Structure 1
């Protein structure tokens, strides 16, 4: 029998929409629509019936029974309802009840071919299902703990009822509980009960125990398709994915398990293991500690916690954790060795040696343990015992190269050079590609005075330790210059063995340690440097900076003051003091120090940048712009200050579009003139169809909003797209997002330390055809380099909503909604390349389900703003207050607010407009989950201007909250209108402030309509072009190809709309 959705009443439009979605296989939208109907009409027979059918279609037969029963109760004269309910009972395993229902239906006159066929199927099911007495018998055996009897009875049941998933499931339980192989039973259970999530979950565990991780993942995934809230399946999936090395997916699975059951220890441990594997050790520590709070007697969790703490170089904490593990389980593998290593690093060499001896006693045949014992003994100046430990390691494994190297160094320290050289050469023979072995031999030759041989081996092992301070300091300086701080620290440490107390080496080593966030070790190096050169103000400032990074701001200021006591005119110390006050939310004090730094050194460009940023964060935008102008009057070529100025201009409600464009064009003129010597003709092959080399330039290729938009597009560019992607990354921050981006841009360049000239040379050497800026006038941009036009075609995309001002940038990648052709071209030096949509929207994984509009329960409208504070100016507040005055009982929630300072300014603006403070709620910055949850408290968001909301508008829509906006004269003021038009919500776009108020009043008068918008918003986003990442990727590829073809033909850039094979269809709501 095939169940189909019952026909709707013609007047029931909402039901018709639900049925259409249902019949089209769009189950989630259909479910939302049915539930919307049932919220207002809980006894709507058709909606209940169709909801029950839908549950069965996704395998949730039991969940659908209440809906089917209610439909039948409401309208027992509808024959289809009897058939559907009987079918649901049958599929849910309730064959006896199904027989009762179908017999009742037939007795009521529903005697036809369809009902008789269903009755026959029910009869067959009853015949192949254990009786109630049989099932009760095996349950009693299980409860009595009679596992042998349970196995015997369930085996007999599988013989009698071979098609009974219940019988096979009981057998599987009996075998598993006894430690026997239950794989066949679990396989049969899952095959016979394909919609039973627990059966698939149990089968997944069996696959995992057999080592078949792919099959395990498949089974867990199937279980979760059937029951998305199956906590154990999420937890087990996390462990299987971790074992496969699929770390990001494993983390997602673990977090889903914990979201469903926060006290699920297995998932908490799995999350910690994943974070540890991803080198996010601080997060792993937190996860293990949460697991211990739930299960404090677990030695294994303490071991894992110690490992994570050791990875963070939290040696003392690791010691405590390892000792706790040993207390709980003295035989736990690895604990002794790990405890000894932590003790050694913590400086407790006596305890480390004693613990290594315990480990060696437990595993006397482990060469590595003997070697570690020897290293610790050597560090404790027990050379003879260290020698014996190394020799024992080599007696166990003559080819153990690390022991040979350590022995060579020990013999070298004892001046037994021939033996040392022989050992080191033997190590190299075993590991001919081991640079460290070559470096160690270089040290030995250096100690012998054979500098030629030493240099030879240092050159072979250029990244490893040299023999004297001068060579290693040079190597350390090199590694520091390219931000390889671990190598730099090692180099400086080796140098210090040859020149202890050298102030310069110690200062440089402190800088590397500070960059590694090893603040205690950095402080030690700086203080040792000061012992050699007590009056060095640079080192004093560095100590202050170290404390500042360490979040010890009072101590930071103490050392800045020490530097100023020696040199009151040290501009850097004043500047650093300003930074420390800014980090402490003391903006007024920060301003004074920045101004002093500028007074001492009027050419201190970073002081102007930070001064303007501080003023802007205080809500003093006009003053911030004045600070930029002051600096640019001195340094018109200061590109970062100029970009900051332009970015701030885009937030001003008093600067016209023409004035803003003129300022951007002035930037272009200034830096194009400076870059003229770097420009040269391009000799790229003008083949219009060849593979194109496309370079992407950004300082934000890490966990930042830009990759959030960029990655989905890159993921959807097909391998056959004839695009070879190059990444030019202008920052050193490296995280999991950076790693993902590298996968799509295999030609990766770190360029943050390259000069413009060097970067131009690199791009030309790479043969880039199209170079795309992803920053615009935001931080860490390289627009000055773009002024040299290193590529024949250049474009800007994603990072900034206004023109670069550069005539050397040919295209601004946008879309017809954001910058319609014929309206904004005069605000761009670039031509507009109109993609189907300029960037995709991906919802946050932390977004909860949409709830009804709060106005329905509150009885009043709640407006909201989630935009950053510096988008909210005096004019914005005035516009908002027009609504609040027009709707006297309305409230407003302002999120992402600072705890003090600028918030008081904002509150003053509302007071000036006559809006009482008790109508306003301020919420601070939160994590993404709380931020998304906060949307449940808001009915309508209010946009800012002239810099409107982008990501905030997207997130609000995803949470069902539309944004009331009004298009302005510049592109930043059109973000809201662009997004709303794409999702066909033009009714929230006002033409002027009067209409702005009218629209708000209309919504306040019709909260039910607002609720309808709320529950359709996700569907709108998903159906819009913004949800079609494949379409955007196709548009990008086609647009770049068309631009290239024009260049090949010698044609100038023009604005154009990019064609795609299949345009995105209308949303259709």
Structure 2
């Protein structure tokens, strides 16, 4: 067995660290061994070391540009680091191999709303292209005669994440308020199940479907037999394989809500729920679905899980020096976002930046991000990079942040609601697509319009003014002290109103 075969065997056996060491020994003798660079990159990627993986995989594709497998793995590493534009390019290079094309097109369809260079038309085109692969060989199931329901409308909610308390704040805010005298509620669980700890309030008449181990055709036949009237997708592209369930048309009406922040690109959805901020009328042509809007925000939320108390702003004990921060997923830290943040820090030379994300627990991922910031003139001593933590402790990070910075064009959703609930305002601007207006929707609903800039230059001006204004610490202290009361009284937390609006939408599809 050759040295490279030994390394490959170790990796195949799951002995990732030993495999990486074996690949390094090969490379010590031959720096131009493309297979060893590919193997090392794959091993580091499996270990979550995306920074090290991207370096190795780049060496591999430079030595062997036709190695489509390496391009695919490079794309995955780059995306997880926030280098979205190059990730999309790498996936498209991988798609040159017909056997890899469906997976590559799927991944482009998933990540393209976060590409600064891809507007609404490109998002629709990418999702249409992948949708054609997804729909191949998929046929609608037969819907038998609907069983009696005592005049109630049967609503089915489909999610792989019913157990995620921090994500499901809008969902359970609505589901818990449904009128069971008029609606029969079905929760179709494809992953973790609904629970009190996640925010769900049990109801005797609700039906919980635990079907994550079934295939999409079986689930579709079960739902069709149950006579679901309106099936609501809460996953969108966070669980893309389950979009096949909706292609099978188990319900006469199918709607996307909650985790949709762009079109599905699929014709099997009768509607998609947003609001006036995230989907202006002029952009409806970029949606495969009928656009349906609620008043206020489509993400009105309610907090069901334990959270830390709101703390005073750190600038009040730090001589007025601001700490900007972001507790965003690292894949949102693209070039546009880092460009904006670097400009803010350069305009406010006494300020600091705290970035926290689970992937930053790994040293090469931190090094990669530090290098990207340094290339933009941000000194390392001004930035704190931290990994994940248990969620309560993670939220306590907001005690050390004065102002949260949004990500562009892929805004925070859950991240924005959590920052606000911890008393920390989020600075954003209204962008060019749904994903770039999610925070704007929430902030306007909360009456915090002053934190929404008109564009990038206005955002920079707002951040700089706040950093230089001696009144900022007192203003932030007052805002934080009253934030939860403000939110609770606003449309941002009006889950009762959102519930009524969704029920009105559902009733439009009564058959």
| Structure 1 match to 2:407 | 944
Q: Write out per-residue CA displacement over residues 588-620 of structure 1, whole angstroms, 9 at most, x where no aligned residue.
A: 458659x89xx9x9998xx98765322212343
Asked whether 1:703 is paired with 2:178, we answer no
Higher relative contact order (CA 8 A, sep 6+): 2
The structure 2 residue matched to 1:838, chosen from 291, 295, 298, is 298
Asked whether 1:850 is paired with 2:314, we answer no
| Structure 1 match to 2:340 | 879
Q: Write out per-residue CA displacement over residues 174-199 of structure 1, whole angstroms, 9 at most, x where no aligned residue.
A: xxxxxxxxxxxxxxxxxxxxxxxxxx
Shift in Å, 1:625: 1.5
Distance in 2 (CA, whole Å) between partners of 1:1015 and 1:712 is 24
1:841-990 matches, cutoff 5 A:
841-843=301-303, 845-858=305-318, 859-896=320-357, 897-990=360-453
Secondary structure of residue in 2 paired with 1:760: helix
Asked whether the equivalents of residues 864 and 940 of structure 1 are also in contact (C-alpha less than 8 Å), the reply is yes
| Structure 1 match to 2:506 | 1040
| Structure 1 match to 2:32 | none
Q: Write out per-residue CA displacement over residues 307-332 of structure 1, whole angstroms, 9 at most, x where no aligned residue.
A: xxxxxxxxxxxxxxxxxxxxxxxxxx
Distance in 1 (CA, whole Å) between partners of 2:22 and 2:201 is 40
Asked whether 1:585 is paired with 2:49, we answer yes
| Structure 1 match to 2:220 | 760
Distance 1:701 1:633, change over 3 A: farther
Distance in 2 (CA, whole Å) between partners of 1:609 and 1:797 is 30
| Structure 2 match to 1:310 | none
Instruction: Give the superposed CA RMSD.
Output: 3.9
Asked whether the equivalents of residues 947 and 973 of structure 1 are also in contact (C-alpha less than 8 Å), the reply is yes
The structure 2 residue matched to 1:1011, chosen from 454, 474, 477, is 477
Between 1:634-643 and 1:846-855, the stretch displaced more is: 634-643
In terms of fraction of residues, the more strand-rich structure is 2
TM-score by length of 1: 0.41
1:110-509 matches, cutoff 5 A:
none
Distance in 2 (CA, whole Å) between partners of 1:801 and 1:658 is 14
Distance in 1 (CA, whole Å) between partners of 2:339 and 2:232 is 39
Distance in 2 (CA, whole Å) between partners of 1:589 and 1:544 is 19
Distance in 2 (CA, whole Å) between partners of 1:738 and 1:937 is 27
Shift in Å, 1:956: 1.4
Between 1:653-662 and 1:979-988, the stretch displaced more is: 653-662
Shift in Å, 1:853: 2.6
**What runs of 5+ residues in structure 1 fail to find an aligned partner?**
1-536, 561-570, 1049-1069
Asked whether the equivalents of residues 50 and 81 of structure 2 are also in contact (C-alpha less than 8 Å), the reply is no
Asked whether the equivalents of residues 637 and 671 of structure 1 are also in contact (C-alpha less than 8 Å), the reply is no
Distance in 2 (CA, whole Å) between partners of 1:1041 and 1:877 is 44
Asked whether the equivalents of residues 730 and 781 of structure 1 are also in contact (C-alpha less than 8 Å), the reply is no
Distance in 2 (CA, whole Å) between partners of 1:649 and 1:874 is 14
Q: Write out per-residue CA displacement over residues 962-993 of structure 1, whole angstroms, 9 at most, x where no aligned residue.
A: 11111111111111111110111111111123
Q: Write out per-residue CA displacement over residues 201-251 of structure 1, whole angstroms, 9 at most, x where no aligned residue.
A: xxxxxxxxxxxxxxxxxxxxxxxxxxxxxxxxxxxxxxxxxxxxxxxxxxx
Asked whether the equivalents of residues 703 and 736 of structure 1 are also in contact (C-alpha less than 8 Å), the reply is no
1:9-48 matches, cutoff 5 A:
none
Distance in 2 (CA, whole Å) between partners of 1:725 and 1:603 is 46
Distance 1:729 1:797, change over 3 A: same
In terms of fraction of residues, the more helix-rich structure is 1
Distance in 1 (CA, whole Å) between partners of 2:278 and 2:315 is 31
| Structure 2 match to 1:358 | none
Asked whether the equivalents of residues 323 and 352 of structure 2 are also in contact (C-alpha less than 8 Å), the reply is yes
Shift in Å, 1:774: 1.5
Secondary structure of residue in 2 paired with 1:699: strand
Aligned residues: 479
Asked whether the equivalents of residues 770 and 792 of structure 1 are also in contact (C-alpha less than 8 Å), the reply is yes
TM-score by length of 2: 0.81
Asked whether the equivalents of residues 156 and 188 of structure 2 are also in contact (C-alpha less than 8 Å), the reply is yes
Asked whether the equivalents of residues 863 and 893 of structure 1 are also in contact (C-alpha less than 8 Å), the reply is yes
Shift in Å, 1:828: 1.5
The structure 2 residue matched to 1:828, chosen from 266, 269, 287, is 287
| Structure 1 match to 2:264 | 804
Asked whether 1:1022 is paired with 2:454, we answer no
Asked whether the equivalents of residues 187 and 207 of structure 2 are also in contact (C-alpha less than 8 Å), the reply is yes
Distance 1:899 1:715, change over 3 A: same
Secondary structure of residue in 1 paired with 2:168: helix
Secondary structure of residue in 1 paired with 2:404: strand
Shift in Å, 1:832: 2.0
Asked whether the equivalents of residues 701 and 738 of structure 1 are also in contact (C-alpha less than 8 Å), the reply is no
